[in-house]
Structure 1
């Protein structure tokens, strides 16, 4: 078989640490090639509500532009290592990648993580130093950090030969010389055409690797993937193959290519094309290859990294169950988790000993938190246990997941932060002092040491610290770590919270509830200032006598309650506690509600 090439096609992934400008850059590339109307809103690639609110990319996206005679397929990937399942599966579809690095923030753990994944797949690199319009941009330092990172991670020498471009996604320009600002994206497109290889095919038979799944009520399952060999036509018969599995023959009903934000229907697609296809009457999973009926030969696919964190999700059995949610039963929760498994490749779900509880495992707190937040918004009610890290035994030694943590703090906060991390068994690897009075400190720290880290870190640095971390790998168990040092204030009564009761309770600790909130026995209403749990009555009313008017209650001065969102709760809770999640509320409670039973 002779080697075939499609010189007019390029496939490229855009990778970076979170918030370094990937999604904005894709917007500008669509506008520059007139693929999309200028009037549409910014960050068009972020389609999901949570992505727009948080300004992060969770799901990998596909788009395509036409530049002159060339078709360029672009994949926008997430930068959080929690969504590495998304990164790993999308990098399989491309020949090269564009690494974006923020000129002020420099190389961060996410940069290291996504670059390592791309170089392991032997993809061709282009580097773009972004945001050079920032006042605090340090282009020389960032460029030297990028070269050091490539030296550290490259698998062969050819990966060290890459073009470096400079630009600003926000202002929509890319240049070869950082001192010359243009108003064009042309240097970027020229670099893609000159440095990213064209797709090649070695076989004549069909191989289409599925890397993403979608669903439509009219067309059923939609498989998104790349044609690696041969070609595919509407009406053609095919089989789905994965490892030893081969499906019954099925028939392609529709093929779509990606152009801008829309899918364009086509009659056929050839090797090198990234397409969406329909026509499935049997289940298909990510990592499946669509093959000719007479040649069921699956294409290799990258194994996804294993989960590092697990928690239990179960039916809500609190006294308030069923008041706010639509979906309450274990069957509904199970169906929702099974649906998630089809597209969320890094998630694992195991049924536990009881029928109404499921163990979910993922790539980190954010990965699991986003799934729970999506379920809450869809109308589910459930409760979840404290997250636990997943240990492994390798060569008879207990090993635990380790994170690579990079902190950027003011010098005066350096001591208190390092002392806190010392208690969490963190090892300092590097420290850099900057002229502006800030310090960059790099650590290797056990994943379990970072549970509850965020809130304490923001307190210690008065909200001025920046923390970034990504999964590094497994290392031998580091020993016991002190977790939360304060107990809980637990309600011993059912009813409505009164200002009178909170007035006396607020000196005992930090409150999570406000007057008028409904509480039940065993619900956690605050954090005790000491290390033990304390049972309290937040519903206590003032005794009225003819000597005192009830109006003096107005003089009560309460501190505002601490807002506990889902992720803060995941960091805060202990193994004997649960988070109750409903569409309107997030509450904390003890697993055993009655105080006498807990003793």
Structure 2
């Protein structure tokens, strides 16, 4: 087994159709991992092995595989590019030591590219930028480099140059082997900005050896002070070996020791027909062997590992031992969830939060008898993607889920049919709004009847800054309200805020417990579980709430003759946007638009521009709705404002 001294963990990221899966397939082929090349269009690639991925030709899950190049074992995670599957991307980011960001040489920097880039920078992950599809009509490497510098970073620099482009593209040449190309001076200048020795040699006209320059690039790339740019055409296999060389040369090896206390994180859950539930784990410290019992510190439970499988596409082998720095799938962990930490937290990076489900839909099934099976299937799917956030309303026999977009619904429908042999449909997607307090106010609840019970709470509720979430604290002394009762109140606050006055989640507020009282005889801790939602809702009824709606960043590209029509449409949809930019005969418009008014616009735009107009979007933020916008959601369960009925329902005494 190779040690972590000869290992890389690398994620492949890009906007949809930039060529991630094709690039991964070429790496597997040219490294000798597979004997023949698969094809995205025919559904024969190693990392798109789900039936739905083969049928649609897109990645919908992050797929782990492995190859060996220059005596280095490289774990590669090929991630989805479509915005509907951003949750898969964010979970993969957490366990990577390095990244390859692929950018199409024709389309350039796209919205998803920017979203991933900002997440990579937040986590400080060393990144190679690979400009793909240089053989395509419209490819322009210099224009794309200018876009990268303008929209992503000034700290990027080419380490090779392309031999031609479009139909003349034949290959790439390293700048370390050709110091006469104009890119070479850019490279040396970029390195010299961070290294005085290179600057001195450059100014004095002294020769800079390839080994020295390579060493400096390695250090700067590892510290995220420099981001090397490479070129290629993955569909033809051009530039792939050079890209793998750069992965070994410029992306870091994982840290950690197999002899340290265990520390790992679960980033993916899958189900295998033969092996059952697979928990994909990145180990940052320590080691795990078959039959080991490990502690899940997130859930405070212990479970036994039955097998450790190294997954390579749709195949796997028994690894027997997982060491620090490596990634594998564990069987036997039947209760583990995505994001759970195993052992301890040392060395485990924070979880990036990029994906925000903006739509909610009702699940519908074909046959009444399918209801139990549909519930069970979606409970399993929530294990694999917690952001689905299944709402099972048993009383009404209804299921509701949250999704990123309509493509995700098509994929879920296909998965249900192929994996579970269940035919399901979905109701009309509805936008997920939020609520926030209009003003400050108080909520008081005296839960003292019917006996035995006693819980008195007074909350102060104040509006918070946009994006601040929920801030809760207590100023009540423990002598007035025992600590265990105060802890129960704190645990129930999130639940109490799930449904506000309009039925939406309440956010961006500060809640302070300013008064509390218990009874030495009549009080039970669960009294505060009952009282907290009533006190919070009483407070919200006094403050009032206002609606927040999801806003999207958008980028529209249309032929110039349609520009006036698009600008008129945007005004009607309540969009805000900058002055349009002109590129040759096309108009580019960027800005922010409400999801509620723009859900169908991509279809409309494609229709009246005859396919020549495109719109790409990604989540921006939640912002206040105009006063005339009303949106309510049917409440689940009894409203705590109807206190008598609510108490009876909680006590299971409601007939």
- TM-score by length of structure 2 reads 0.64
Are the aligned partners of 1:330 and 1:355 in contact in 2 as well (CA < 8 Å)? no
* Structure 1 position 275 matched with structure 2 position 325: no
What CA deviation, in whole Å up to 9, does each residue of 1:412-446 have, x standing for no partner?
111112211211111223533222x2222222111
Q: 2:234 aligns with which of 144, 163, 169?
A: 169
Structure 1: distance between partners of 2:604 and 2:398 = 31
Aligned 1:160-239 pairs, distance under 5 A: 160-174=225-239, 185-201=240-256, 204-239=260-295
1:147 corresponding residue in structure 2: 149
**Equivalence for 1:470:** 618
Question: Is 2:598 the partner of 1:450?
Answer: yes
Aligned to 1:358: 399
Q: Superposition RMSD on alpha carbons, in Å?
A: 3.0
The structure with the largest helix share of the pair is 2
> Are 2:287 and 1:246 aligned?
no
Distance, in Å, in 2 between the alignment partners of 1:39 and 1:139 is 27
1:91 and 2:93 aligned:
yes
Contact 2:64 2:75 in 1 (8 A): yes
Q: Which of residues 32, 44, 55 in structure 1 aligns to 2:30?
A: 32
SS at match of 1:163: strand
Relative distance call for 1:465 and 1:64 in structure 2 (3 A) is: same
Number of the residue aligned with 2:434: 391
Deviation at 1:89, TM superposition (A): 0.5
Change in Cα spacing, 1:39 to 1:369, as seen in structure 2 (3 Å) is closer
Q: Does 1:374 align with 2:415?
A: yes
Matches within 5 A, 1:285-304: 285-291=337-343, 299=348, 301-302=350-351, 304=353
> What's the CA shift for 1:346?
2.1
Which of 103, 106, 122 aligns to 1:104? It is 106
CA positional deviation for 1:204: 0.3
Deviation string 1:503-549 (CA, Å, 9 cap, x unpaired) is xxxxxxxxxxxxxxxxxxxxxxxxxxxxxxxxxxxxxxxxxxxxxxx
In the aligned structure 2, how far is the partner of 1:412 from the partner of 1:50?
38
How far is 1:326 from its partner?
A: 5.5
State the 1:152 CA deviation: 8.8
Instruction: Tell me which residue corresponds to 2:217.
Output: none
Structure 1 residues not aligned, in runs of 5+? 175-184, 317-324, 484-574, 577-599
Distance change (3 Å), C-alpha of 1:74 and 1:392: farther
Q: Does the Cα contact within 8 Å between 2:86 and 2:355 map onto a contact in 1?
A: no
Partner in structure 2 of residue 21 of structure 1: 19
Counterpart in the other structure of 2:362: 313
Question: Contact 1:304–1:345 (CA<8 Å) still a contact in 2?
Answer: no
2:159 maps to what in 1? none
Partners in 2 of 1:300 and 1:159 — Cα distance? 16
Q: Flag structure 2 segments of 5+ consecutive residues without an equivalent.
A: 157-219, 437-465, 467-507, 510-545, 635-655
Deviation of 1:151 after TM superposition, in Å, equals 3.3
Q: For 1:104, what is the secondary structure of its paired residue?
A: coil
- Report deviation, 1:53: 3.5
Secondary structure (helix, strand or coil) at the match of 2:232 reads strand
Q: Distance in 1 between matches of 2:277 and 2:391?
A: 24
What does the per-residue CA deviation read over 1:18-39, in whole Å, with 9 as the maximum and x for residues that have no partner? 1101110001001110100115
Cα distance, 1:366 vs structure 2: 2.9
| 1:422 equivalenced with 2:571 (yes/no) | yes
CA gap 1:149/1:210 in 2 versus in 1, 3 angstroms: same
Aligned partners of 1:346 and 1:363 also within 8 Å: no
Aligned to 1:159: 224
Map residues 560-599 of structure 1 onto 2, 5 A cutoff: none
Name the SS for the 1:409 alignment partner.
strand
Separation in 1 of the partners of 2:153 and 2:363?
47
TM-score (norm 1): 0.70
Q: What is the distance in 2 between the residues matched to 1:193 and 1:93?
A: 18
Which whole-Å CA distance do the structure 2 matches of 1:90 and 1:327 have between them? 38
Secondary structure, aligned partner of 2:227:
coil
Shift, 1:299, TM fit? 4.8
Aligned residues: 455
Q: Deviations over 1:314-366 (max 9, x none)?
A: 556xxxxxxxx457543333222211100013211123485221221122333
Moved beyond 6 Å, runs of 4+: 295-298
CA distance in 1, matches of 2:562, 2:369: 46
Select 2:379's aligned residue among 324, 338, 360.
Answer: 338
2:4 aligns with: 6
Structure 2 contact 356–619 (Cα < 8 Å) conserved:
no
Q: Which moved more, 1:45-54 or 1:85-94?
A: 45-54
Instruction: State whether residues 389 and 447 of structure 1, in contact with CA within 8 Å, keep that contact through their aligned partners in structure 2.
Output: no
User: For the structure 1 residues 387 and 128, does the alpha-carbon distance in structure 2 shift closer, same or farther, using more than 3 Å as the test?
Assistant: same
- Which residue is equivalent to 1:527? none
CA distance in 1, matches of 2:267, 2:28: 23
User: How has the CA–CA distance of structure 1 residues 25 and 303 changed in structure 2, closer, same or farther, with 3 Å as cutoff?
Assistant: closer
Distance 1:99 1:110 in 2: 11
CA contact 1:79–1:114 (8 Å) conserved in 2: no
Are the structure 2 counterparts of residues 6 and 236 from structure 1 closer, same or farther at C-alpha, using a change threshold of 3 Å?
Answer: same
Moved more, 87-96 or 52-61: 52-61
Corresponding residue of 2:126:
124
Q: Structure 1 residues 151 and 382, CA, compared in 2 at 3 Å: closer, same or farther?
A: closer
Q: Distance in 2 between matches of 1:381 and 1:350?
A: 16
